[in-house]
Amino acid sequence: MWPAAARPAPGVPLQGVAMPSRSPSHDPLDLPDRSGLLGALSDREFATLKSALLARSYEPERPLYYEGTPSLAAYLLQRGTVKLWRMGHAGDQHVIGLRGPGDLLGYRAVMAGSPYGVTAEPLEPTIASTIPRETFLALVRENGQFAFRLLESMARQSLDTEDRLMSRIQDSVLRRTATILLHLGSQSGRASRPPPNPCLPRKREDLARLIGTTPETLSRTLHALASQGILDLSNKGIRVVDLDSLRRLAG
Amino acid sequence: MWPAAARPAPGVPLQGVAMPSRSPSHDPLDLPDRSGLLGALSDREFATLKSALLARSYEPERPLYYEGTPSLAAYLLQRGTVKLWRMGHAGDQHVIGLRGPGDLLGYRAVMAGSPYGVTAEPLEPTIASTIPRETFLALVRENGQFAFRLLESMARQSLDTEDRLMSRIQDSVLRRTATILLHLGSQSGRASRPPPNPCLPRKREDLARLIGTTPETLSRTLHALASQGILDLSNKGIRVVDLDSLRRLAG
DNA sequence: CGGCCCTTTGATTTGAGTCAATCGTGGTGG
DNA sequence: CCACCACGATTGACTCAAATCAAAGGGCCG
């Protein structure tokens, strides 16, 4: 069903599979809050939901759920970053998007009544609450405002995903590389002036997969950019030298 | 904003811009019915909606709306087939999907509050009702069941689109061709035994864009399949001869 | 009959993947 | 302290699917 590499390695112990309960109110990150999507819930609904939730922690690379498996629940991400990817025929990963704290995961499959369309894999230690399928559906059915917000959210994400996939279909590796470099560079807050950008995957392979290419091709692309003085690849770290040229390449 | 070729040609008169009202019950195709998504509406809502609707006919190749323009309305498709496509950097079309009678168009952009993500272009003479943005949003806000059905529908379409785009990223033209042939063949109800399949775009170029390739490559692929006795390309119409082989190729 | 499209066929190009060899670097143990 | 190893990064050579460019073929309709 899923590639061996992605399956939980039997030998590796799971740390903190069941989240120990924390102090109930002083660490908001560990409890769902009502900002964002959940803001539409009434007090009663929120209370009901909380009682049905099962908060867990997840280790990096141990997915919350797997593409192709029955969608038994939605997940409310409370802490950490999760990468959503689809498996290629050769078992390779195609990253569809990233999600962060406050995001709701897996609800699309739940609403469609289909298996999960992606695998949701934490990039770092992550905490998420499980919302069982029926609980979630009841919530949507009974709360029009919640449904409305969900619609807005799903519509935006759908457009966003479509953009990302279209880019992979029609843009050259060079252009996609430039785009990612720009995107990842800016997203790290105060830009990439401090030489090593913490947001860029350290390994070439990870960056390559994010762009949707191979390490070899990425290497060539990066060095081509470096030889034009657009990047600086001095050991450990990619630094953008000529931001304007990079923007031009990204279109 | 959009390519000149796709913009409405100013000189061509629109036939039947305002749909004349027909006998109220004997031609259901020309009036919105309450099957499908609209089934969730109450009598009152349905009446209100009908009074707000503006039914129009559209000529082939004259889009209902254009990618990148403000999403002013959703459209209820009543007759005809509409192709949804995104523009490539070179102005080329990338077909995202097809929609038929009963489908709701453009609601994703309306819900997201963004410009349309695609261009909706009729493949044949088409009739559709315009649902102004605010009317639509009010409907969704006030009718939880409608919102719920919309969520289900959007979730399914989103997964479907993602599948289609992923397939374009990682499958060969041969495989994609086989898949489309299968898909379009079965979707036309009582299969493709009557020689010409009405659902297949009659022009090679449209089919090619749907598969995500060029007419030249599609022609080669089709004839390769024909020479293996899998297809019959006798003039006017593609007929599937060896369904099993086609399934095998589609994976 | 003669255009006009659309389709097909042929020849060539090309971007990127694959396979394979080499290079660097940092960690390890002798 | 240094040789050596392991692993990732780089470079090179080759392959390949599909796009592109270019040139015929058909049909169909006025």
Interface touch B170/A89, C-beta < 8 Å: yes
Query: Nearest by CB to B151, which of A88, A111, A171?
Result: A111
- Residues B186/A104, Cβ–Cβ less than 8 Å: no
- Residues A109/B160, Cβ–Cβ less than 8 Å: no
By the CB < 8 Å criterion, does A173 face chain B? Answer: no
Q: How many contacts (CB atoms, under 8 Å) link A and B?
A: 117
B84: enclosing H helix or E strand: strand B82-87
Q: Distance (Å, rounded) from C-alpha A176 to C-alpha A167?
A: 7
Nearest nucleotide from residue B205 CA, by C1' atom: C6
pLDDT tens-place values along chain A, 251 residues long: 444 444 433 333 333 333 334 434 444 445 556 556 666 666 666 666 667 688 899 988 889 999 999 999 999 998 888 989 998 887 788 888 888 888 999 999 999 999 999 999 988 889 999 999 999 999 899 888 889 999 999 999 999 999 989 999 999 999 999 999 998 765 443 444 444 444 667 788 889 988 999 999 999 999 999 999 999 987 768 889 999 999 999 98
Mutate: best of A37, A42, A118, A148, partner B, most B CBs <10 A: A148
C1' of D15 to CA of B38 (Å) = 54
**β-pair partners for B65:** B120
By the CB < 8 Å criterion, does A140 face chain B? Answer: yes
Alpha helices per DSSP H over chain A:
43-52, 107-112, 133-142, 144-170, 173-187, 204-211, 215-227, 243-250
User: Cβ of residue B204 near strand C, that is under 7 Å?
Assistant: yes
Torsion, CA B179, CA B180, CA B186, CA B192, rounded to 10: -110
State the number of CA atoms in the 13 A half-sphere of B177 facing the CB: 24
B21, two tokens: 């009202």
DSSP state of B171: S
Q: What is the 3-state secondary structure (H, E, C) of B185-228?
A: HHHCCCCCCCCCCCCCCCCHHHHHHHHCCCHHHHHHHHHHHHHC
Interface touch A148/B141, C-beta < 8 Å: yes
Q: What is the pLDDT of residues B152-168, one digit of tens each?
A: 999 999 999 999 899 99
Mean pLDDT across chain B, nearest whole number?
80
Is residue B27 pLDDT above 80, yes or no?
A: no
Q: Which of A137, A112, A148 is nearest to B136 (CA)?
A: A148
B8, two tokens: 């409405």
A39, two tokens: 């803001």
Q: Distance (Å, rounded) from C-alpha A77 to C-alpha A56?
A: 10
